Structure 1
Amino acid sequence: MTGVRIAGVGLTHFGEHPERTGRDLFAEASATAFDDAGVDRDDVDSLYYGNFMGELSEHQGHQGPLMAEAAGIRAPATRYESACASSGAAVRQAVKDLRNGEEDVVLVGGAERMNNLGTAGTTEALAIAADDLYEVRAGMTFPGAYALMARAYFERYGGSHEDLAHVAVKNHEHALPNEFAQYQREITVEEALDAPTVADPLSLYDACPITDGASAAVLVSEDYADEHDVDAPVAVTGTGQGGDRMALQGREYLARTPAAERAAEEAYADAGVDATDLDLAEVHDCFTIAEVLALEALDFYAPGEAVGAARRGETTRDGDLPVNLSGGLKAKGHPVGATGTSQVVEMTRLLRGDHPNSDAVPDADRGVTHNAGGTVASTTVHVLEVSR
């Protein structure tokens, strides 16, 4: 079995691109990744591509071969769909196939075009990641679902909306120097608390934005990297995936995310690490409460302890565990199908030292990415390490 290296990465700016198509966005991200990797497109064995709502937003299914063409490759291509964890699942499959020798070079990535649907249309499209029979038909939206999870958390463990406001403020601050971020502006705790309520106790600044964008990474086997003298200092050493019941009323817990716990346990065992060995994290903060739940599922905090982490300064760029130095989904943006790979892209840049926030973690050797679908019914977790 061979190891897996990240040879090159690429992103588009995350934000509103009403004039651009998904294939145009992915063409840009993949071109950047190939330029970064220095790998010939003819060497690519497969494309694994994440996308969630292409049929709704662009009336386009069968996107795998379409995106291979956009990327300038002729390799077989497969689309992966796991709601907001779509390209996280694509990364996991790429890692597994590279390790077992089925592939030597895989282009992995994702894209989503959302803003052309408008707020109401995007909300409706995203809702199909919930249980249609038991949630969507009853009027459930994801802001409402995460509000229920936040209320359950507060009732069981304590905490407040002000604790969540500190998460939003932190992630906006982290996004300031990130040229790919949708929101490069500061907010205050007071602004977050005074913002319009979306679903009590969550307000506007507790939610990530509607985002267009694409991400891509060229993954190679260690054997290929050695043979072709590819400069790829960051390796994927752990991968894990977990699942849970789709609808909230079928869950044993609302204030915990067992799918993420299982994914983390598997990824840590795969990499031979535990949470104390990790220097930083990129987690799926589609809502501020989601970051809290992720940090506990990843075993950085015991249940009930992560809600105050941002307020205490522990997860800021100057804290002991910097979280979402990219700005996270909250400020960097969340083009659904692109998010999982984009976390891997940002972590790679942070560990290589060429991210604008790398100066916050100059000695970092290991990081973890956490990508969740729906109300964390699907989760992938990846451990990345600098190979010395």
Structure 2
Amino acid sequence: MATVRIAGTGLTPFGEHPGRTGRDLFAEAGLTALDDADVDPDDVEHLFYGNFMGELAEHQGHQGPLMAEAMGVQAPATRLEAACASSGVAVREGVKTIRDGEADVVVVGGAERMTDMGTTGATDGLSIAADDLFEIKAGMTFPGAYALMASAYMRDHDADPDDLAHIAVKNHDNALENDKAHFQTAITVEDAVEAPRVATPLGLYDACPISDGASAVVLTSEEYAAEHDLDAPISVTGSGQGGDHLALQERETLWKTPAAEEAAAEAYAEADIDADDVDCAEVHDCFTIAEVLATESLGFFEPGEGLAAAKNGETTRDGSLPVNLSGGLKAKGHPVGATGAAQIAELTELLAGHHARSDAIPDASVGVAHNAGGTVATVTVHVLEHDGGVDR
């Protein structure tokens, strides 16, 4: 199996970008990634681009070639849509394309412009990732859906929902030094516990913000990286994808996420690792309960034990397994089409020692990215490894 190297990364700040278009945001991220990689746009052989709501937010479909043009790339370009996992799927397609020998240089990434839609418009737009016939028409929103998942988890494990506050506090604290993060403000446990309820048991600080932003990653083959003397010490050694019923009522339980378990099993097997080998992780915490479900599905904790991990200091910066050192979706932000590739970009910088929070993991060599779509009906998991080729 061909080795896939990460040669460069690019992120816009996540947050509010009034008046900017998706193509403008992605051009910034894509050109930054190419410059970081020291790769000429003419060498790019394919672009895989993740976007969820372009038709609703910007009345724009067929965005693949549009984004290639925006960043000066003349190559086949494909848009992929898998709700909030759109650019995670784009990363996976790029990895497979290089592994299969079809290309030596691929750009993967995504973008979303959401804040111009307003809270009501963005919430309505996001809801189309659920089952329209049986969920949306019944009044389902994603805060409500994750509240159902959280309530079922608390009931089955006799758990305290106030423990979710520690996850929010941890991720806000991690984002303080991330200049790309939407929220760079600290909160307390009391702030989170006492905040207005969005959908019980979830409060305001349990939910990620509505964000604009873009991400891009340059992937290359091992041969291309060596031939062009690229500084690319991070490789993608495992890639997995899992799926589940779209609607919650079709699932065996409301809180288990078997799609994540499937994706993790595939990615771990490809990388020849297990959960105990992972040094840090970026997981899809659109709501604090989602971080709990992710860490359990990835095998870091047994069912029922992930909720207290932040409270116990296991997933904090100085814990045994730091989770969401970027701030996660919760504080870094969640422009949905950009999130999956942004996780890869953050992990790359963390493992290479170039991130503001790399000091928390000075000896880390294995990182895992978990990107989920909808109520975890689509999941990608990627394993990134540092080969020790540069002095950190």
Tell me, yes or no, whether TM beats 0.5: yes
Alignment partner, residue 257 of structure 1: 257
Alignment partner, residue 332 of structure 1: 332
Alignment partner, residue 186 of structure 2: 186
Alignment partner, residue 203 of structure 1: 203
Alignment partner, residue 55 of structure 1: 55
What's the offset of the Cα at 1:8?
0.2
Alignment partner, residue 37 of structure 1: 37
Q: How does 1:1-388 map to 2 (within 5 A)?
A: 1-388=1-388
Q: Name stretches of at least 5 consecutive residues in structure 2 with no aligned partner.
A: none
Q: What letter corresponds to residue 56 of structure 2 in structure 1?
A: L
Check conservation: 1:209, 1:334, Cα contact below 8 A.
yes
In 2, the alpha carbon distance for the partners of 1:325 and 1:13 equals 16
Q: What letter corresponds to residue 163 of structure 2 in structure 1?
A: D
What's the offset of the Cα at 1:88?
0.1
What's the offset of the Cα at 1:223?
1.1
Q: What letter corresponds to residue 352 of structure 2 in structure 1?
A: R
Q: What letter corresponds to residue 60 of structure 1 in structure 2?
A: Q
What's the offset of the Cα at 1:229?
1.2
Check conservation: 1:169, 1:187, Cα contact below 8 A.
yes
In 2, the alpha carbon distance for the partners of 1:307 and 1:316 equals 13
Check conservation: 2:154, 2:161, Cα contact below 8 A.
no
Q: What letter corresponds to residue 87 of structure 1 in structure 2?
A: S
Q: What letter corresponds to residue 288 of structure 1 in structure 2?
A: T
What's the offset of the Cα at 1:9?
0.1
Aligned pair count? 388
What's the offset of the Cα at 1:98?
0.3
What's the offset of the Cα at 1:158?
2.4
User: Which stretch shows the higher mean deviation, 320-329 or 251-260?
Assistant: 251-260
Q: What letter corresponds to residue 68 of structure 1 in structure 2?
A: A
Q: What letter corresponds to residue 185 of structure 1 in structure 2?
A: T
For 1:350, what is the secondary structure of its paired residue? helix
Check conservation: 1:156, 1:255, Cα contact below 8 A.
no
In 1, the alpha carbon distance for the partners of 2:203 and 2:160 equals 12
Deviations 1:332-357 (A, max 9, x none): 00000000000000000000000000
In 2, the alpha carbon distance for the partners of 1:207 and 1:193 equals 13
In 2, the alpha carbon distance for the partners of 1:84 and 1:72 equals 26
User: Which stretch shows the higher mean deviation, 337-346 or 161-170?
Assistant: 161-170
Check conservation: 1:159, 1:308, Cα contact below 8 A.
no
In 1, the alpha carbon distance for the partners of 2:230 and 2:155 equals 52
Deviations 1:329-384 (A, max 9, x none): 00000000000000000000000000000000000000000000000000000000
Check conservation: 2:351, 2:386, Cα contact below 8 A.
yes
Deviations 1:28-51 (A, max 9, x none): 101110111001110000000000
Check conservation: 2:171, 2:327, Cα contact below 8 A.
yes
What's the offset of the Cα at 1:227?
1.4
For 2:129, what is the secondary structure of its paired residue? coil
Q: TM-score, normalised by structure 2?
A: 0.98
Indicate the percent of aligned positions where both proteins have the same amino acid.
Answer: 70
Check conservation: 1:2, 1:223, Cα contact below 8 A.
no
Deviations 1:73-115 (A, max 9, x none): 1011000000000000000011011011001100100000000
What's the offset of the Cα at 1:161?
2.1
In 1, the alpha carbon distance for the partners of 2:204 and 2:224 equals 47
